[in-house]
Amino acid sequence: MKHDVTGFARRYAKALRSHLQAASPAKLETALRLGRQAVVDKIETLELARIHEQSMPEADGKKDPLDKKRLSDEFFAEAVAPIVETHRASRENQRQLKVQSQTLSRRTQELASANRQLELGILRRKEVEAALKQSGEHYAKLLQDSVQLQNGLRRLTQQVLAAQEDERKKISLTLQDQIAQTLVGIELRLCSLKKEARFNTEGLKAEIASTQRLVAKSARWVRKVARQFGGL
């Protein structure tokens, strides 16, 4: 909000008249102070120019008009300098503000892009963690199934070995029985041959041949059973 322009205009007119009369550097200092006050009072360049025109005294013939105009222009130039400088500073501030705004906008875009990348990275990490967890559970189940399968194979192997051992025992017993029976039969034949050898030579030959066949047959059976027994 502007201050009292009328009071400022009176002070300006008084200082201008004093400058036109004395034309000293001290008077220009007064113009500079008035210009700074104009900035405080928010008086713009055009309004200060109007005040300056209104403050110009009437020609009195004592001073050269050109000299009077020069002194007047000096005073106005000194008074308006703070306003011009303020406008220049304001433009510079606006320029810097624009640059900063552009920089901020660029940084905001970069930050938004970085946030999107971060969100994508977090999403990928969660997906990888979920996949690893699922994969871990899958492999854990496979491991558990493998352990169970190994245990089952171990039990089955033990059962097969136990069955084979039982079969070996049965075959061994059977083989022992058959061999014992064959040997008993051979022993009986030999005893019979011993008795008949005293009385019947022809019968002895027939008994010997029969006994040989019995031995050959028994030997074949023993080999057959031994092969079966060895394949278990």
The radius of gyration of the chain's CA atoms, rounded to the nearest angstrom, is 67
Q: Write the pLDDT tens digit of every residue in 3-17.
A: 578 899 999 999 888
What pLDDT was estimated at residue 1?
43
DSSP string for the chain: ----HHHHHHHHHHHHHHHHHH--HHHHHHHHHHHHHHHHTT--HHHHHHHHHHHPPPP-SSS-HHHHHHHHHHHHHHHHHHHHHHHHHHHHHHHHHHHHHHHHHHHHHHHHHHHHHHHHHHHHHHHHHHHHHHHHHHHHHHHHHHHHHHHHHHHHHHHHHHHHHHHHHHHHHHHHHHHHHHHHHHHHHHHHHHHHTTT-HHHHHHHHHHHHHHHHHHHHHHHHHHHHHHH-
> For position 59, what pLDDT does the model report?
56
Average pLDDT, stretch 120-129?
86
Average pLDDT (100-105) is 69
pLDDT mean over 225-232? 65
Residue of 196 and 214 predicted with greater confidence: 214
> Which has the minimum average pLDDT: 101-110, 137-146, 209-218?
101-110
201 or 133: which leads in pLDDT: 133
Contacts of 15 (CB under 8 A, 6+ apart): 27, 30, 31, 34, 75
* pLDDT at residue number 178: 72
Q: What is the mean pLDDT of residues 190-215?
A: 72
Candidates 21, 49, 18, 24; CA nearest to 35 is 49
In angstroms, the CA 222 to CA 232 distance is: 16
pLDDT for the residue 142:
82
Residues contacting residue 86 through CB under 8 Å, at least 6 positions apart: 39
Least confident of 76-85, 109-118, 193-202, 218-227: 193-202
For residue 41, give the DSSP letter. Answer: T
User: By percentage, how much of the chain surpasses pLDDT 90?
Assistant: 16
Q: How far apart are CA 20 and CA 72, in angstroms?
A: 7
| 86 or 24, greater pLDDT | 86
58-80, pLDDT tens digit by residue?
755 555 678 888 888 999 999 99
CB 46 within 8 A of CB 89: no
pLDDT digits 0-9 by tens, 143-189? 888 888 888 888 888 888 887 787 777 767 776 777 767 767 777 77
Question: How buried is residue 35: exposed, middle or buried, by Cβ count under 10 Å (0-12/13-18/19+)?
Answer: buried
For residue 222, the model assigns a pLDDT of 73
Q: Give me the pLDDT at residue 82, please.
A: 95
* Higher per-residue confidence, 107 vs 32: 32
Query: What pLDDT does residue 33 have?
Result: 92
